[in-house]
Structures are given as structure tokens and as C-alpha cells.
Amino acid sequence: MQCLTFSAKSQLRSAQIFNLGAVLATLCMPLFPIFFVWIGVSIFVYSANIQHPNPKVRRYTQYAGYRFYGVSGCLLASMIFSGVLLSWVGGGFSLLLLLWLVASSVVVPAGIWAIMKARREHWQEMQAEVPDTANAA
């Protein structure tokens, strides 16, 4: 078994990174490639941080994932029904602005609050044992 040390700053960054990415991607949502690129990158970030040895890091990542993936699913459903929604809101640009407003009102305030809350928490260095992969083969 190998013992790894996680610094307090590293844990703080891990707790904040998903929220930060989700906030930036949501704010840049009209630039669709950035939003979709973050969806792909966020899967990697989520899967890496959800296995973190510190439960606080896992909790921050989990709730950020709930918010971001929930909004992403709602946006997907809105795109499926966009033919109907276009006539209700007055066109494509109005629909884009409405969806952006809804997504931003969910992800951005909660994400910024989580980033600030993580910064206020007390983080301390921790050690975790991991299996030695060099001798596994």
C-alpha cells in the first residue's frame, strides 16, 4: 500500500472545480461549443472527484452535478419540444434567451454560493492509502 498526501489547497480546488466549470459553461451557454465541451469534460471531473477520499469534496461535486446535469436534461427536453416552444415565446432568439435565463438562475447563484462556502470551510491536509499499482502486473 502506498500513502498519498492531499494538501488542503488541493482539496479546496477539487471541491470548487465542478462548480466553477458549471458556472462558466452556463454563463457562456449561447456559445454552444463551450457548453457542450464542458458537458464532456464535466463527466471526467465528476468521476474523478466523486472517488475523492475526503467526503466534503465528494459532497460539493455531487450537488454541483445534480444542478448542472439537471439543467442540461431540461435543456435537452426543451430542444426536443422547441418546435412548440418557438411559437409560445416568439422565435428562436427569445427561446435561447429564456433557456439561458432559466439555466443561469439555477446554476450560477448556487454554484457561486458553493464556491464561496468551500472557501470558508476548514480544509486540512489528509493522507489516504491507495493500492500499489506498480506491483499489480
What local confidence, expressed as pLDDT, does residue 137 receive?
Answer: 54
Element (H, E) at 128: strand 126-130
For residue 102, give the C-alpha cell. 432559466
Q: Flag whether 108 is in a domain.
A: yes
pLDDT tens for the chain, residues 1 to 137: 788 888 889 999 999 999 999 999 999 988 877 888 898 999 999 999 998 889 999 999 999 999 999 999 998 888 888 888 888 888 888 888 899 999 999 999 999 999 999 999 998 988 888 777 766 55
Domain count, the chain: 1
- Cβ-contact 119, 13 below 8 angstroms: no
Q: Flag whether 106 is in a domain.
A: yes
Q: Flag whether 136 is in a domain.
A: no
- Cβ-contact 1, 130 below 8 angstroms: yes
User: d(Cα 97, Cα 103) in Å, to the nearest integer?
Assistant: 10
Nearest to 123 by CA among 60, 58, 57, 49: 57
Q: Flag whether 116 is in a domain.
A: yes
